[in-house]
């Protein structure tokens, strides 16, 4: 896995939800069993003892799973730090869809265009008070049509039954190293931050009191390996992320070396 994400760095507090807007892309995915996504993570617990609980939602390109290369709306959750089989969308008991118009696994088209129109997805997650569920709201293009589309029942969680402890947003890719090198799978738009072509997350909000959302006031950003994919903070409530892939550059370099060797061989025969 490779990540380029932003972390909510507020004082320790109970978290009851978030809201964020992502532009949606159609990144190139090298292997069908790899994926590229942008999402929200709402979490409690730890990897250390497999108690990590997560609520996740965003857009994802995953050819082997969806049988195409379109960006699609997805949800995910775990209660044991991902040790059990993946629980995506409506393919296992858990998330309950209530909308008949915005569908989980629905394709988001057209994707954003380099130098052109940006297609945006707004993700809004909030918890009803007490033993109420975690709701998911979705809106497109400035979030003007934001509406609730479903919920995660509180009963499926152990450490998210009342509130969350941590909050992140950003991009993730899977690298299977199928060809013995780093994948060429793109994250976001395939462009690094610092360019108006890069993927972004904007208007970050957090709820530290039930149903009250405020702009994020403290944000830190980081990437697992910035040689491959990177992240750049614009403000406390926005950042850009993603990139191509050093693996692609290395692969091209190897191809050029082989071409040079073949050319030199022809000169001497």
Annotated catalytic residues are: 56, 172
Distance CA 244, CA 50 (A): 32
Distance CA 247, CA 102 (A): 37
Can you read off the two tokens belonging to residue 77? 């959750």
Q: Are 23 and 128 in contact (CB under 8 A)?
A: no
Distance CA 224, CA 217 (A): 23
Judged on CB neighbours under 10 Å (0-12, 13-18, 19+), 155 is: exposed
Distance CA 90, CA 80 (A): 19
By C-alpha distance, which of 235, 197, 140, 172 is closest to 40?
A: 172
Region of residue 62 (left: phi > 0; alpha: psi -120 to 50; beta: else): beta
**End-to-end CA distance of the chain, in Å?**
46
Strands 53-61 and 72-78: antiparallel
Strands 17-23 and 199-209: antiparallel
Distance CA 232, CA 245 (A): 16
Question: What is residue 222's three-state secondary structure?
Answer: strand
């Amino acid at each position: 896995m490779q990540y380029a994400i932003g972390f909510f760095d507020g004082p320790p507090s109970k978290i009851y939800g978030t809201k964020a807007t992502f532009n949606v892309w159609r990144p190139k995915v090298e292997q069908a069993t790899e994926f590229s996504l942008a999402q929200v993570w709402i979490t409690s617990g730890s990897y250390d003892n497999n108690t990590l609980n997560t609520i996740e939602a965003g857009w994802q390109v995953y050819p082997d799973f969806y049988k195409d290369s379109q960006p699609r709306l997805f949800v995910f959750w775990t209660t044991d730090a991902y040790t059990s089989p993946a629980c995506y969308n409506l393919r296992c008991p858990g998330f309950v869809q209530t909308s008949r118009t915005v569908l989980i696994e629905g394709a988001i088209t057209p994707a954003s265009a380099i130098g052109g129109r940006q297609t945006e997805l707004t993700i809004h997650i909030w918890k009803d008070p007490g033993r109420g569920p975690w709701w998911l709201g979705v809106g497109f293009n400035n979030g003007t049509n934001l509406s609730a589309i479903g919920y995660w029942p509180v009963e499926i969680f152990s450490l998210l039954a009342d509130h969350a402890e941590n909050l992140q947003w950003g991009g993730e890719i899977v690298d299977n190293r199928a060809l013995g090198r780093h994948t060429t799978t793109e994250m976001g738009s395939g462009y690094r931050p610092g360019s108006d072509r890069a993927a972004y997350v904007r208007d970050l909000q957090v709820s530290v009191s039930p149903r009250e959302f405020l702009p994020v006031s403290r944000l830190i950003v980081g990437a697992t390996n910035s040689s491959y994919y990177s992240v750049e903070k614009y403000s406390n409530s926005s950042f850009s992320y993603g990139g191509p892939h050093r693996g692609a550059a290395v692969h091209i370099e190897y191809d050029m070396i082989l071409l040079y060797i073949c050319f030199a061989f022809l000169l001497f025969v």
